[in-house]
A and B are shown apart, each in its own frame.
Chain A
């Protein structure tokens, strides 16, 4: 994959996430795709990730993946972005996230996600309720 194809794949991935298109994400993940989350310190499979998505969308009426800064390298990309969410309560919050992805044959084969879980409560409007 050249850098343009990798960049395009990155945009497709985040657009699909934003538009809750689990069917497209299913096509973007390779069969052996692994997703690692720093906040859990463990890897999940593509199937575990896809299965968890519908429930993860329920809390928010809208999520946008904004301020995307994408840089590509020979086998993947790094993206820095803000995840801006509007909760069902109307509360608005942002998370600042960095993802490093590996790509092969037009698909994403691995994702390493870095975010700060101490900001989750503020993002969801649950501050002071924990």
Chain B
């Protein structure tokens, strides 16, 4: 018999690892790894338009960011894992081509299937968009 809670502990660790891999891949401009974090049916919801974005559109947006933004960092990451997913709170810092460093507080809720993100919800305040865009 395995240790009590062994499966759930392993699953929790795998979800934490997925969460780190996802955000680290964006920081490192590692598109291949980023893409592998999303399940084929993945959709991403954003609080500014309350719409689900397709996997392809979201990846295209993130890829464009990788190609144009000098630096992206997710700092003060606070992660909690729940059955079927995770929530990460962070502050994203984006260095723009003109040197401006924008920042935004974000809450990202990810739902996980077979080790991949199948659905995600991203909450942030566009009322503070000038602090982010410059």
Binding site for B on A (CB under 8 A): 38-39, 41, 71-76, 78, 80, 96-98, 100, 112, 114-118, 120
Contact of B80 with A39 in the complex, beta carbons under 8 Å: no
Residues facing A in B12-67 (CB within 8 A) are 47-48, 50
Contact of A117 with B125 in the complex, beta carbons under 8 Å: yes
Which residues of A have CB within 8 Å of B82?
71-73, 78
- A46 to nearest B CB, angstroms? 20
Partner of A78, one of B47, B48, B106, B109: B109
Give complex CA distance A117, B109 in Å.
19
Q: A39-B128, A98-B121 are in contact. Are A114 and B47 (CB under 8 A)?
A: yes
Contact of B50 with A114 in the complex, beta carbons under 8 Å: no
CB<8 Å pairs between A and B, sample of 11:
A38-B123, A38-B124, A39-B125, A41-B128, A96-B50, A97-B123, A98-B107, A100-B87, A114-B106, A114-B124, A116-B123
Total residues of chain B contacting the partner, CB 8 A = 24
B89 within 8 A of A: yes
Which residues of B have CB within 8 Å of A76?
80
Which residues of A have CB within 8 Å of B129?
118
Which residues of A have CB within 8 Å of B84?
71
- B9 to nearest A CB, angstroms? 11
Contact of A80 with B125 in the complex, beta carbons under 8 Å: no
Contact of A116 with B107 in the complex, beta carbons under 8 Å: no
Contact of A114 with B125 in the complex, beta carbons under 8 Å: yes
Contact of A112 with B128 in the complex, beta carbons under 8 Å: no
- B18 to nearest A CB, angstroms? 15
- A94 to nearest B CB, angstroms? 9
Known contacts A73-B81, A97-B123, A114-B123; can you find 4 more A-B pairs with CB under 8 A? A38-B128, A98-B47, A100-B87, A116-B123
